Structure formats: structure tokens, C-alpha cells
Amino acid sequence: MLVLTALMALESDREVELGLGLPLMLYPKLKEKVKDYFEFLEEIIIDKNGVAHSYHIARCEVFPQGVGALFSITSPVEDGIYCILDVGFRTTDVIVVEIKSKNINPLLDMCFTVDKGMSLAVERLGLMIERKYGVSYDTSLLFDIHERTYISVRGRKIDIEPHKKEVFRAIADDIVQSISRRLQRGFDTFDAVLASGGGAFTVASVLQKEFSNVQIVENSQFANAKGYLALLSLGL
């Protein structure tokens, strides 16, 4: 669905170079399968006006989620060891790399995926609303929760900002604790901890209370996509 949405943003009848990301825990197993599925694919999409748009995917590259965020940084990155936290909707990927003389080497024994993301906040908020107001709120109606300040319950507008803050803080704490248990070194031993993804601000706010080396990647929600574009242009 996301690929189709991206294609519709382009002019039709053209060749497309596609960059995709996979969670670390799925990357080794599915990289080639995903690449083979999309590469050289001919896609015809009918829009709401009944107009057909055709696309040819001439090239597809698949990257580990989180790596793109590092390549989205435009300013030079100094030599050192960096921890990238890519906080997505369903998972959080932890990528540790060493940068030396402009070479990027992943430290694979410290890279992993936590099966927790910001979707937990949506689920927990739905349960909180049900307990507090006695209504079952379909979680699919809460997917845009970052942009909403209220919900409607029996014709009344209910301010959910306090509930959001409570839930987001709890989920961020949970994610940080899960990462801390698996990391082989403390957050404060990295030259920098870079947070990206849709949940970057929430998780970084928890870490920044204790560690001064935590940074939020610019335009964090789109950092991976920007990085994939940079990697495609480099021919990687």
C-alpha cells in the first residue's frame, strides 16, 4: 500500500527506482524475496477518476531499517561509534555502527530489533478510553493520534492530550528499558545516540533526561526515506 501511494505521487508512464526498508529481524531472510518481487514490476493503477497510470520499477534496493537515517544527515559525521534508534509503528530497530575515515561498519553483534513500536500507544490509548468513558473506540480511528487533541464520545468532545502524554511516556519507557536490557554497553558510551522514525521525539525525550549525547535526526519521521534516496543516488 505504501509503495502504491508513493507511485501515485509520481508522474505516470515512467521508470522508477525504488528503495525499501525491512526490520532487522526480517532483513536477512526477506531481502532478496522483496527485491525480486518489486524489481522489473509493471504496475497499472486506476485513480479515483478512472484514469490509468502505468509504472515500471527498473531497480529495487532493500536496506535495513535505521541505516537510512544515518545517510539522511547532511552535515559531516565525525569518526566514532553511533547508536541509531529507529522507532517505527510496530518495531524499533537498534543499529550500532562505527564510522572511521568515512567508512561505515555495522557492529552486527550489537544490532537488533525490539518488537515494540508506537502502535502500542494506539492500543493502550484505546483501552484507556474504554475504561474511562465506557466506549469501545476502534483503534483504527486513532492512527492519526499524533495530530488529534480530542475525540468524540456520545456527542461530546473529550480532550485526550493528558491521556496521550501518559500513554506515550509509558510506551517510551517500555521501549527504552527493552533496548537497555539487550545493549552490550550503556547509552552514555556512544559518541551519539540518534533517534529517528515516527516515535523519535517520544523515545528521545525519555533518554535525554539521563544522557546528553541523544539527538533527534532532522525530519525524523522521514529520515529513512531520505536516506534510502541518498543510497540509491550513490548506487548502493
Cell triple for residue 115? Answer: 518488537
Whole-Å CA distances, 124 to 108, 109, 129: 33, 32, 9
Residues 50, 91: Cα–Cα separation, whole Å: 37
Helix (H, G, I), strand (E, B) or coil at 87: strand
Cell triple for residue 42? Answer: 509493471
Residues 118, 200: Cα–Cα separation, whole Å: 10
- DSSP per position, 142-176: GTTGGG-SEEEETTEEEE-HHHHHHHHHHHHHHHH
C-beta of residue 116 within 8 angstroms of C-beta of residue 105: no
Give the global pTM.
0.77
Domains and CATH numbers, the chain: 2-64 (no CATH), 72-220 (3.30.420.40)
State the pLDDT at residue 94. 93
* pLDDT of 144 higher than 90: no
Residues 154, 158: Cα–Cα separation, whole Å: 10
Question: What are the pLDDT digits (tens) for 32-75?
Answer: 999 998 888 877 777 777 777 787 888 999 988 888 888 888 77
Closest Cα to residue 191, out of 205, 217, 216, 212? 212
Question: What are the pLDDT digits (tens) for 200-233?
Answer: 888 998 899 888 999 999 888 889 888 888 888 8
Cell triple for residue 153? Answer: 464520545
- Per-residue pLDDT, averaged over 137-145, amounts to 68
Q: Are strands 192-196 and 80-87 parallel, antiparallel or unpaired?
A: parallel
